[in-house]
Amino acid sequence: MSPRRSDETQVLLLWIASLALAGVLLYLLAPILSPFLFAAILAYICNPLVGRLALRGVPRSVAATVVLLLLAAVTALLLVILLPLLVRQVRAVAEQMPVYLEWLRTRVEPWLMRSFGIELDMQLAKEWLATHVAEIQKFAVKLLPTLGTSGLALIEFLLNLVLVPVVLFYLLRDWDKLLLNIDVMIPRRWHGTATRILREIDSVLGEFLRGQLLVMLLMGAFYIVALWLVGLQYAVAVGLISGLLTFIPYVGVITGLVLATVAGLLQFDSYTPIFWIWGVFFIANMLEGYVFVPLLVGDRIGLHPVAVIFALLAFGQLFGFFGVLLALPASAALLVYLRYLRGRYLGSGVYNARPG
């Protein structure tokens, strides 16, 4: 074995050992890795803007600072505008819970008894609600309810609040250097194939993450405006929840439809507005499937909706919230690698380049 081939073999073994160690560390350190991964995802999404500013002669440190301040301004604006509305609506829901329970007792419970022989103990639920209504209202006006019961949770929240922008800044500033360091570590024998695979992963992830973020924002805005025009009192809350859940196939529209229908049944005296609410979600589903997703996301990620749901649940079970953040990027990368293996097996020539 030549010295060069021996060195490449050692580098390959080092890569395998590093990946195995990284997998173990991901599992063990998952509870503290969420802010780092969240910052990495934001950096990946925002890096093209930093790159464009850098091409115009702006130093990367300055460009990273500008993008960071822009993100902070947009986040603050959304919080100032939407958060009070959302808090008021959640508080109103808590205050109206006795009315909802009475509606269940007078309308839903008799129907369940007649149709299926099911009896609901609504009196017990009403008594529990009367006892805890003050706690529910306090829960509604807190951004992070658990912070009041755990000092460690408060420290963790504040640490993450500071850690995410700090990590984001350094990732945006040194993005090109980090990629160059990774490129140098790839064995030259597999450099061409590895580079093509990584570029394909970058293409898939970039199109999916940036496009899906825009889809979520557009869908959330559409839900809020359309439900407000229908006259639904809780349009902001339902619209935000539906928009945020859009990245899970069908879950966003189904969850929003159920929430809006229940709220509409309790608010309106006739069924006509309910049909308008259903029309909103029907149009939203058409817009998402035939306009927003094809234009902004495309079909590059190639994951079946069932595979997306399974990936989110599986990674969430293994790694918690960190796993939810990791699920789709990891699944997309795995899918690209499986396409590469399929191309090698079928001899399609897409990735079928001999090493070296």
Instruction: Output the CA angle 255-258-259, nearest 5 degrees.
Output: 85
The Cα 162–Cα 148 span in angstroms is: 19
More confident of the two residues 203 and 242: 242
> How many helices (DSSP H) and strands (DSSP E) are in the chain?
13, 0
pLDDT at 276 exceeding the cut of 90: yes
Residues in CB range of 45: below 8 A, 6 or more apart: 209, 210, 213
Both tokens of 93, joined, read 């829901």
Query: Averaged over 112-125, what is the pLDDT?
Result: 64
CA distance 220 to 287: 12
- Domain segments of the chain as ranges: 190-356
> Who wins on pLDDT, 73 or 271?
73
Max mean pLDDT among 47-61, 253-267, 326-340 falls in 47-61
Asked whether 182 and 195 are in contact (CB, 8 A), the reply is no
Percent of the chain clearing pLDDT 90 (strictly above): 11
pLDDT tens for 151-188 read 455 566 666 678 888 899 999 999 888 888 888 877 77
- Give the containing element (helix H, strand E) for 12: helix 3-55
The pLDDT tens digits of the residues spanning 74-116 come to: 888 877 776 776 677 667 666 766 777 677 777 777 776 777 7
Q: 44: helix, coil or strand?
A: helix
Confidence label for 133 from pLDDT (cuts 50, 70 and 90): low
What is the pLDDT at residue 347?
61
Q: CA gyration radius for the chain?
A: 25
Question: What's the pLDDT at 277?
Answer: 92
Residue 316 token pair: 């969430």
Q: What residue type is assigned to position 101 of the chain?
A: L
The model's pLDDT over 14-24, given as tens digits with 9 standing for 90+, comes to: 767 777 787 77
Task: Give the residue, 266 or 74, on which the prediction is more confident.
Answer: 74
d(CA 340, CA 346): 10
pTM here?
0.63
Per the CB < 8 A criterion, the answer to whether 232 and 263 are in contact is yes
Report the alpha-carbon distance of residue 156 to residue 173 in Å, rounded: 25
In the block, tokens 């194939």 appear at 193
